[in-house]
Amino acid sequence: MNSKRATIRATGAAALSVATAALLAASPALAQDSTTFTFLHVNDFDRMEGSGDRGGYARLAAILADEESRSDNVFMVHGGDSISPCLLCGFDQGAHHFDLMNQLGVDFYALGNHEFDFGPDVAEERVAEADFPVVNSNVVRGGELLDGTVESATIDVDGFTVGILGLTTPSTADIASPEDAEFLPILDVTADTASALREDGADLVVAIAHTGVSEDMSLINQHAVDLILGGHDHFLFTYWDDSTAFVEADEQANYVVAVDVTMTRDEDGSVEWEPAFRIIDSADFEPDADMAAAVQTYEDQLSDQLDVDIGTTATELDSRRSFVRSRETTFGNLVADAIRDAVDADVAITNGGGIRGDTTYAAGTVLTRRDIQTELPFGNTTVKLEVTGADIVEALEIGVGTVEEGQGRFPQVSGLSFTYDPSAEPGNRVVEVMVDGEPIDRDATYSLATNNFMADGGDAYTVFVDAPRIIDPLAAQFMAAQVTDYIAEMGEVAPEVEGRISTVD
């Protein structure tokens, strides 16, 4: 990363421990009437190697080098979600990503929900490894900011001061495993932190916000910050209403959004600013050789264990993100069947958001351990619960209650089928549930296979929290291993979309 004319300073509880010496060594430039600088933004980036002709660290490094060759003031911003989910993340809890981000030269990072998939202790371990400020304004533990993070940071460039704050969606409490970490309300935190930054002289306030689309709109309409660098929804999007700007950069560094910020100081001392957006397609760049070599080092660590054939699929397997979160899929059926078989349960329910490959496998494909680990990267285990028919119906209501939002709680099932009405009010959508071809008995007891994340109330499946454990997490086996063993034992699998999930006409 080129030496910047600007000074970056981290503020808050851990400022001195996270601001790098190289950044703090720079001296602020003399004040000017105007300046232009660039935020280079990525988010939701957990695949170090990219996919096909796009994404990955090596192409991102080439993009950053190209930008820095034309400007001294380019700031690399990451909107979160790198600790998980990914293939190697299941082994090192995202440590390789922080090493690669250090090599890349990230300037600012905000915590995503996936930073808490392995619990807050792991999140703090990764933050401690960062050579850049992890800006976190709303995640606390024991009343204090998550250890190692900073509440805010500032950039001093050509006499203009830019304040940076970081936000993590409070829905992390439901969709990850944050344990005792708490997520303060984002609008209140944003108002207070932005006000404090402006009182300390910030001419522009930027939020790195790993937040959902409805939260994004609330932040935009609040107008407490000037620019929002977003994440979480995997959108490729730019927006400017002459007051607040917002961008999000797809995922995996497939595309990078550059925000060129022009700031002007009027004679009366007031500051005006304007953004210009550039969407950079990583497919237009050759991978940086040094970064490609660093990525390959980690790839090599996986090959011996994962590049092993386990069986063949006779039908197409579909794990596309939008499908596993909205309908019955062949891959969802395979996973649900495998975990139900592994623990000999009556029925199985697993969340579509736990299936992460976002791809299809053609009929005749030879599946490998790597394929299954890629699809099920979280390290979840399969627990067996004792539940009532009423509990199952409630769980399915939870699963389809936000189907229009594409959330990960959507259920993939085995041993049962159900019909729901997506136009009905959430909580009253499930029309019919069948088990073994018979209407479910709400008063009867069934054994249920699910993953430990859902059993602990993850993805809002609170109905499972107090259910008796037949196989508890301490005795449970990894889902990925069970699916691998299921395919290996079968030799050939042939799941079909067979009407397990249907909607009313």
Would 4 be classed as within a structural domain? Answer: no
261 and 349 inside one domain: no
Q: Are residues 35 and 164 in the same domain?
A: yes
Please, which residues have CB within 8 angstroms of residue 474's CB and are 6 or more apart in sequence? none
The answer to whether residues 283 and 416 belong to one domain is no
**Residue 5 lies inside a defined structural domain of this protein:** no
CA angle 104, 106, 111 (to 5 degrees): 125
**β 134-135/108-110 pair status:** parallel
Angle CA 348–354–359, to nearest 5: 110
Gap between the Cα atoms of 171 and 139, Å rounded: 12
480 within domain boundaries: yes
Same domain? For 276 and 350 the reply is no
Claim to verify: residue 293 and residue 313 sit in the same structural domain: no
Tokens matching residue 74: 């380019």
Domain that holds residue 26: 11-297
Q: What percent of the chain has pLDDT over 90?
A: 87
Give the domain CATH number at 70.
3.60.21.10
Q: Residues 293, 436: one domain?
A: no
Name the band, by pLDDT with cuts 50, 70 and 90, for residue 5.
low
Q: Do 261 and 392 sit in the same domain of this protein?
A: no
341: domain CATH number? 3.90.780.10
> Could you tell me the pTM of the whole model?
0.80
**C-alpha span between 196 and 163 (Å, rounded):** 10
> What 8-state DSSP symbol labels residue 13?
T
Give the domain-ending residue among 297, 318, 336.
297
Q: Is residue 103 part of a domain?
A: yes
Antiparallel, parallel or unpaired: β 204-210 and 160-168 = parallel
Check pLDDT > 80 for residue 124.
yes
Which residues lie closer than 8 Å to 293 by C-beta, 6 or more apart? none
In a domain, 302, yes or no: no
| pLDDT tens figures, 428-440 | 999 999 999 999 9
pLDDT given for residue 12 in this prediction: 60
Same domain, 263 and 332: no
Q: Is 471 part of any domain?
A: yes
Average pLDDT, the chain: 93
Q: Could you tell me if 448 and 387 are in contact, meaning their C-beta atoms sit under 8 angstroms apart?
A: yes
Domain end residue (candidates: 267, 297, 327): 297
Asked if residue 269 belongs to a domain, the reply is: yes
Distance from C-alpha of 212 to C-alpha of 219, rounded to nearest angstrom: 11
- pLDDT level of residue 242 (50, 70, 90 thresholds): very high
Distance (Å, rounded) from C-alpha 209 to C-alpha 224? 13
Q: Are residues 81 and 121 in the same domain?
A: yes
Residues 163 and 54 in one domain: yes
Q: How many structural domains are present in the chain?
A: 2
- Summarised one tens digit per residue, pLDDT across range 283-326 is 999 999 999 999 999 999 888 778 899 999 999 999 999 999 99
Domain-embedded: residue 104: yes
Assess whether pLDDT exceeds 90 at residue 11.
no
Domain check: are 82 and 215 in the same one? yes
Same domain? For 381 and 293 the reply is no
Boundary (domain end) residue, out of 271, 297, 323: 297
